[in-house]
Amino acid sequence: MSDLSTSISLFTKAKRFIPGGVNSPVRAFKAVGGNPIFIKRAEGAHIFDEDGNAYIEFINSWGPMILGHNHPLIREAVIKAMESGTSFGAPTAREVEIAELITQMVPSIEKVRMVNSGTEATMSAIRVARGYTGKQKFIKFEGHYHGHGDAFLIAAGSGAITMGHPDSPGVTEGTVRDTLLAPYNNLDKVRAIVEANKDDVAAIILEPVAGNMGCVLPAPGFLEGLREICDQEGIVLIFDEVMTGFRLSPGGAQQYLGVKPDMTTLGKIIGGGMPVGAYGGRKEIMDYVSPEGPVYQAGTLSGNPIAMAAGLAMLHHLNDNGDVYTVLEKTGNKIVQGIKDSLNTLGLSYTINHIGSMYSLFFTAEKVYDFESAKTADTVIFGRYFQEMLKRGVYLAPSQFESLFLSTALEDAHIDQFLTANEHALRIATEK
């Protein structure tokens, strides 16, 4: 990486017209320092900035680019669909086809409704769960991100059983009262919350594998325990698979981990990276959605024909090519082992959480199993590590608390380049 003058100029201009100069906060690089890189195009395992610099990329649009960027299958599907128009606001055959395919790939989903984002999907799923159960409250987990809906922007309070406090101005105290917080991987706390709010908990929502406090895996028996609690108490169990859906397996994290939720939310992957989301679940729950039932939810661009075409191309490929997940697993194992080898050689303390094609490196000796343990990571070192990797042509997530996502476009030469850069970056970033 050399010249970044165009990106710097664009960021200066952007701050005049866009809050913070970006359209999503993490892009501003505030967690890692420096100026954000403005991307011009992407191809395969690489992204290219406005100054002509190339980077091996480990974000993949926060998950959906499983096959790498600008894959011919997706590109051709989009171009062909555009020949017929970009938006109709009316039903299309592709919506039916992708809905049927999703129900085949994810057995817990018997019916599915298309929306425009993961945030829309999670907001709608909570509303449907409340309508179905007739209850008001729901449980979410500290450090889990379900989009920017008011009900989800709640930070930890003084204790897991007491209500939390708004994590953003504009979130009302009334909203807070219906949102209950629990620490991830702690069944005892969940049971206590349920007991303290007896017969008033409509849903438990979580990322089955957390990706928004870094990659954090469920402890053995945790998801199974939640399933048992929900069955006993008549609570709707919702898996937010916006990140993990179709990434860890054709049936998502629920297939990979062997636990079946009542409802599932999905995101960008079902649009091949296009703006799209979906929520689905058991027929008896989904039949509460309008116009079949009384719970209202709508959207002019829901089921957009371009997004549906891209999603069909992606999902058919994943469904028909099981070796995709074998390749991703092999790539993940090679990269994580290489990072560990460098860390051990340098005598550094660390934790790496890894599952399939997702991983996070935490600069802490603590085991990372929830939000509090994730926060023990040294974010100053991470910021230096990020910048050193960027100098060497590797683009990582600009935050310690984000999972990294791999793609099938990563070849041995890319992995070797990454590991070489990683060794040098670790040495410099951790120098006293």
Residue range 111-167, pLDDT digits in tens: 999 999 999 999 999 999 999 999 999 999 999 989 888 888 775 322 333 344 556
Position 41 confidence tier, pLDDT thresholds 50, 70, 90: very high
pLDDT attached to residue 409: 98
Question: What integer is the mean pLDDT of 25-49?
Answer: 94
* Alpha helices (H) along 392-430: 412-429
Strand order from edge to edge, sheet including 358-362: 351-355, 358-362, 404-405
Which percentage of the chain shows pLDDT scores above 90?
87
Mean pLDDT across the stretch 74-92?
Answer: 96
The average pLDDT across 43-55 equals: 97
- In which band, very low, low, confident or very high, does the pLDDT at 400 lie, cut at 50, 70 and 90? very high
Cβ atoms of 92 and 306 within 8 Å: the answer is no
Is pLDDT of 1 > 60? no
Per-residue pLDDT, averaged over 262-285, amounts to 94
Neighbours of 220 (CB within 10 A): 9
Task: With a cut of 60, say whether residue 222 has pLDDT above it.
Answer: yes
Find where tokens 């040495």 sit. Answer: 427
CB 111 within 8 A of CB 286: yes
Output the pLDDT for position 93. 97
What is the total residue count of the chain? Answer: 432
pLDDT band at residue 432 under the 50/70/90 scheme: low
Q: What is the mean pLDDT of the chain?
A: 93
Active site residues: 145, 240, 268
Question: What's the predicted TM-score (pTM) here?
Answer: 0.95
- Which tens digits make up the pLDDT trace of 166-197? 567 787 777 778 999 999 999 999 999 999 99
What is residue 407's predicted lDDT score, i.e. its pLDDT?
Answer: 97
- Domain architecture of the chain: domains with CATH: 5-70+322-429 (3.90.1150.10), 72-320 (3.40.640.10)
User: CB–CB of 48/39 below 8 Å?
Assistant: yes
| Residue range 346-368: mean pLDDT, rounded | 96
Neighbour-count burial for 56-76, b at 16+ CB within 10 Å, e otherwise = bbbbbbbbbbbbbbebeebee
pLDDT number for residue 268: 86
CA distances from residue 373 to 75, 142, 351, 369 in whole angstroms, order as listed: 41, 11, 11, 6
